[in-house]
Amino acid sequence: MRRRAFITTAGAGAVAAGIAVRARAAPAGGFDVAVVGAGTFGAWTAWHLRRAGRRVVLVDAYGAGNSRASSGGETRVIRMGYGADEVYSRWSQRSLGLWKELARTSGQKLFHETGVLWLAREEDPLTTATLTTLARLGIRHERLSRAELEKRWPQIGLGPITWAIHEPGSGALMARRAVQVVAAQAAREGVDVRTASIAPPRGKGRLGALATPQGPISAGAFVFACGPWLPKLFPDLLGERIFPTRQEVFYFGPPPGDARFAPPAMPVWVDFAEEIYGIPDIESKGFKVAPDKHGPQFDPDTGERVVSAQGLAAAREFVARRFPALKDAPLVASEVCQYENSSNGDFLIDKHPELEDVWLVGGGSGHGFKHGPAVGEYVAGHVADGTPVDAKFSLATKQKAQKRTVY
């Protein structure tokens, strides 16, 4: 996979809290690229395109990092381990560098280096493959025995866990805030950031312009980075290839004065065998527990975002086993978000087969947030030179039946 040079941000200091939403006059002859969707994929794509000197407009129906978007949650894990799927490990590495750079230039706390702990069983092919990949890429990690785990994290009830991988340099991103900072920085550097809802594109050949109530937005190329909305925008093409699922997130309140569930005492943890992971009590939001099993189908515009009694009971049952001191911890906050799954978890990055100036970017599949910087860089490069994308990301490899292989 191609790497593009990163140009360091000019000018440090705090980014203005808000994002420019005013519709400036479009450049004569239109924009070079219009990006629809200001989630992690779209905002970073706009950012990279601008850095490459393009005239860019970034349009979102509800605003960058809004509460309906998959990128709109409080926090997201950034880990380097991906089993044998090395490309995602490399993209995580690349992305973490860019997230840290953004945090530095914006003066905002966007990343918490809590460490990430992969909890494993005796027979654990995914974690074993992860160990090999991390070693091959020279990513800092340690393999810990059960005895070492008991000593370092006595607040974890290990049950069937016999060993783990610890990535000390990984951790959690402040998701919603970080996406808003990307969009704000892009705006400051000349991207025209607008609020508008774009109708589903129709026809064949060239799209040429986006229709908005404020008038058409013409551009040389269009990137639709609309995450879970992609099936609505391209129903014939993606209606059966991107599967938005309802996902519940629970924040439990640790006992008063108890620092064992916040960093530095507690890292991010993942338990793929039980399809669940969590983030320690960051910025006093609560101890986050998030089931990774795909939920039912979900509409990102109209879906109610209230967690279910069954979901809460299942999360409590897990917490009581794995973190016994939190057995009676109250639920202090919750989120309902949606994954935008591709058939196997690989991202979708490809040209539209019938609209020659349109790109489709999405399929984050519950693990895409961290990769925004690298995905944006990849997309910006391909939009610029038009070269075909790697087969892994192509539309042709996206099936209509779900069979998850990427975790």
Ligand X SMILES: Cc1cc2nc3c(=O)[nH]c(=O)nc-3n(C[C@H](O)[C@H](O)[C@H](O)COP(=O)(O)OP(=O)(O)OC[C@H]3O[C@@H](n4cnc5c(N)ncnc54)[C@H](O)[C@@H]3O)c2cc1C
Cα dihedral 282/288/293/294 (nearest 10) = -80
Interior/surface letters 4-20, b for 16+ CB within 10 angstroms, e for the rest: eeeeebeeeeebeeebb
Residue selected from 233, 276, 282, 383 as contacting ligand X according to rule CB under 6 A = 233
Interior/surface letters 52-65, b for 16+ CB within 10 angstroms, e for the rest: bebbbbbbbbebbb
- Among residues 241 and 370, whose Cβ is nearest to ligand X? 370
How big is the site for ligand X, counted in residues (CB under 6 A)? 39
Cβ 75 to ligand X, closest distance in Å?
7
**Nearby residues of 262 by Cβ (< 8 Å), 6 or more positions away:** 254, 280, 281, 282, 284
- Among residues 15 and 69, whose Cβ is nearest to ligand X? 69
- The neighbour count for residue 202, using CB atoms within 10 Å, is 7
**Contact between 362 and ligand X per CB under 6 A:** yes
Q: How many whole angstroms from its chain centre is CA 276? A: 17
**Contact between 71 and ligand X per CB under 6 A:** yes
**Contact between 282 and ligand X per CB under 6 A:** no
**Contact between 58 and ligand X per CB under 6 A:** no
Q: Which residues pair with 350 in a beta bridge?
A: 360
**Contact between 311 and ligand X per CB under 6 A:** no
**Contact between 244 and ligand X per CB under 6 A:** no
CA-derived radius of gyration, the chain = 21
Residue selected from 83, 115, 171, 228 as contacting ligand X according to rule CB under 6 A = 228
Question: By rule CB under 6 A, what string of x and - marks binding of each residue 72-111 to ligand X?
Answer: -x--xx----------------------------------
Cβ 238 to ligand X, closest distance in Å?
12
Segment contacting ligand X by CB under 6 A, of 105-113, 115-123, 362-370, 384-392: 362-370
Segment contacting ligand X by CB under 6 A, of 19-27, 180-188, 366-374, 389-397: 366-374
Residue selected from 31, 41, 88, 118 as contacting ligand X according to rule CB under 6 A = 41
**Contact between 40 and ligand X per CB under 6 A:** yes
CA-closest candidate to residue 302, choices 248, 340, 246, 369: 246
Segment contacting ligand X by CB under 6 A, of 40-48, 97-105, 304-312, 390-398: 40-48
Segment contacting ligand X by CB under 6 A, of 121-129, 335-343, 385-393, 399-407: 335-343
Q: How many whole angstroms from its chain centre is CA 26? A: 30
Q: Which residues pair with 120 in a beta bridge?
A: 163
CA-closest candidate to residue 211, choices 224, 200, 195, 226: 200
**Contact between 139 and ligand X per CB under 6 A:** no
Residue selected from 80, 290, 383, 395 as contacting ligand X according to rule CB under 6 A = 290
Segment contacting ligand X by CB under 6 A, of 99-107, 113-121, 336-344, 351-359: 336-344
Cβ 232 to ligand X, closest distance in Å?
7
CA-closest candidate to residue 201, choices 354, 380, 376: 354
**Length of the chain, please?**
407
Q: How far is CA 400 from CA 31, 237, 354, 365, in A?
A: 35, 10, 19, 15
Cβ 209 to ligand X, closest distance in Å?
14
Residue selected from 58, 249, 326, 379 as contacting ligand X according to rule CB under 6 A = 249
CA angle 243, 248, 250 (to 5 degrees): 160
**Contact between 178 and ligand X per CB under 6 A:** no
**Contact between 339 and ligand X per CB under 6 A:** yes
Cβ 65 to ligand X, closest distance in Å?
7
For residues 208 and 222, give the distance between their C-alpha atoms in angstroms, rounded to a whole number: 8
For residues 66 and 24, give the distance between their C-alpha atoms in angstroms, rounded to a whole number: 22
Q: How many CA atoms lie within 13 A of 230 on its CB side?
A: 36
**Contact between 263 and ligand X per CB under 6 A:** no
CA-closest candidate to residue 111, choices 384, 383, 372: 372
Contact residues toward ligand X (CB under 6 A) are 36-42, 59-62, 66, 69-71, 73, 76-77, 197-198, 225-229, 233, 247, 249, 290, 337-339, 362, 364, 366-370
